[in-house]
């Protein structure tokens, strides 16, 4: 993870412990209103079907997923609850990693497979396969690495690890591997084990989720379900941020622009027009905002507006409205 440097403008401000909370101390209701659930999708259902089932058993109205998996595919599916759906684009743009099991139409030497995988790393043309719901268009995608995990030459079956940017069609990549080897190439299995900063070691299977929900609903035991939900702040760590005073938190949840007097500290890397995270002193994500100035300008400002909220992530009423001075 990229570490962003932080510059302090006010090292004396404190936060009132009566309002808000540390992200890791959130209640179940708060996490269901704004949290991330990582599940291991089984083979069979579509991503939409699985998301709809989770919506029904959790009893929440607003839910979505970040990154569709085909029905035959398995692996990590990111479920966004409540206000977390406002981060869908961030999840979708994250890098992905897959394990694909493919079968060649004829005998292929190990050295030839290794050479083709090496040549396919980097920028490639990627066209949606016929099975995709996406409108056909040629586009380029970056394959960060292709690794041969195992190869059974007698069965003509290979297992490969694919690290790629978002939006890469693995079926198309499989077809291209076959074309370059002058044979057909069939994808037998596809498993996603990483999305953005999340990997499947952090995810639960559907049995674990069902058990946790049973304990919550039938025995009023929330602990298991709380452990499965992740605060939204976990996905925002690589985005430049500005930490603000309690009064500025309240102001921004009501749609007010961020003024310089309300700022405590800031990442040192952003330009005017950048998307940044506004955070409280407790580390809570308040909003995604667009900067009106670059960092160099911010350094010399005493007053004036610095950013405007584009997507408010914190509900109103968490912090009191004593925000005329943003302190």
Write out pLDDT tens, residues 138-196.
567 889 999 999 999 999 999 999 999 988 889 989 999 999 999 999 999 999 999 99
- Bridge partners (DSSP) listed for residue 276: 289
314 token code pair: 């914190």
Q: Considering only CA atoms, give the Rg of the chain.
A: 23
User: What are 86's two structure tokens?
Assistant: 């406002």
**The overall pTM is greater than 0.85:** yes
Same fold, 6-24+233-312 and 96-195: no
The residues facing 36 across adjacent strands are 80, 230
Below-50 pLDDT ranges, the chain: 131-136, 323-327
Alpha carbon distance 151, 161 (integer Å)? 12
According to CATH, the topology of domain 6-24+233-312 is 2.30.130
* Dihedral over alpha carbons 77, 80, 86, 87 (to 10 degrees): -40
Task: Give the CA-trace dihedral at 295, 300, 302, 307, to 10 degrees.
Answer: -20
pLDDT of residue 4: 66
Q: Which residues pair with 266 in a beta bridge?
A: 7, 242
Please tell me the predicted confidence (pLDDT) of residue 325.
Answer: 44
The fold of 96-195 is: Pseudouridine synthase (3.30.2350)
Q: What is the pLDDT of residue 9?
A: 92
Helix axis angle, 110-119 relative to 170-180, nearest 10°? 130
pLDDT score, position 123: 78
Q: What are phi and psi of 192, to 5 degrees?
A: -95, 125
Q: Answer yes or no: are the C-beta atoms of 230 and 276 closer than 8 Å.
A: no
Q: Among all residues, which ones are annotated catalytic? A: 70
What pLDDT shows up at residue 135? Answer: 47
Domain segments of the chain: what residues? 6-24+233-312, 96-195
| Pure H helices in the chain | 28-33, 47-58, 88-92, 110-119, 170-180, 206-219, 223-228, 246-253, 295-300
């Amino acid at each position: 993870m990229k570490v962003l440097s932080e510059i302090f403008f006010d090292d004396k401000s404190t936060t009132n412990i009566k309002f808000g909370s540390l992200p890791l101390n959130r209640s179940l209701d708060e996490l269901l209103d704004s949290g991330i659930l990582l599940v291991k999708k089984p083979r069979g259902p579509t991503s939409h079907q699985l998301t709809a089932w989770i919506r029904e058993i959790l009893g929440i109205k607003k839910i979505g997923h970040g990154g569709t998996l085909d029905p035959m595919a398995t692996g990590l599916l990111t479920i966004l609850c409540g206000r977390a759906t406002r981060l869908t684009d961030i999840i979708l743009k994250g890098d992905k990693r897959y394990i694909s099991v493919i079968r060649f139409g004829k005998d292929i030497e190990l050295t030839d497979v290794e050479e083709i995988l090496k040549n396919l790393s980097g920028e490639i043309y990627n066209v949606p396969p016929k099975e995709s719901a996406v409108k056909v268009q040629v586009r380029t995608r970056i394959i960060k690495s292709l690794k041969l995990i195992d190869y059974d030459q007698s069965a003509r079956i290979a297992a490969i690890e694919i690290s790629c940017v978002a939006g890469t069609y693995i079926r198309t990549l499989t077809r291209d591997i076959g074309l370059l080897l002058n044979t057909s190439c069939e994808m037998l299995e596809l498993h996603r084990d990483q999305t953005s900063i999340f990997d499947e070691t952090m995810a639960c299977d559907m049995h674990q989720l069902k058990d946790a929900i049973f304990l919550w609903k039938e025995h009023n035991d929330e602990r298991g379900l709380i452990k499965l939900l992740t605060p939204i702040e976990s996905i925002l760590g690589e985005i430049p941020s500005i930490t603000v005073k309690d009064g500025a938190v309240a102001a921004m949840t009501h749609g007010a622009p961020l003024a310089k007097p309300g700022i405590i500290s800031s990442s040192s890397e952003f330009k005017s027009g950048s998307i940044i995270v506004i955070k409280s002193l407790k580390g809570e994500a308040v909003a995604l905002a667009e900067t009106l100035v670059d960092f160099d300008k911010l350094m010399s400002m005493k007053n004036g507006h610095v950013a405007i909220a584009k997507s408010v992530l914190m509900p109103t009423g968490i912090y009191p409205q004593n925000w005329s001075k943003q302190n």
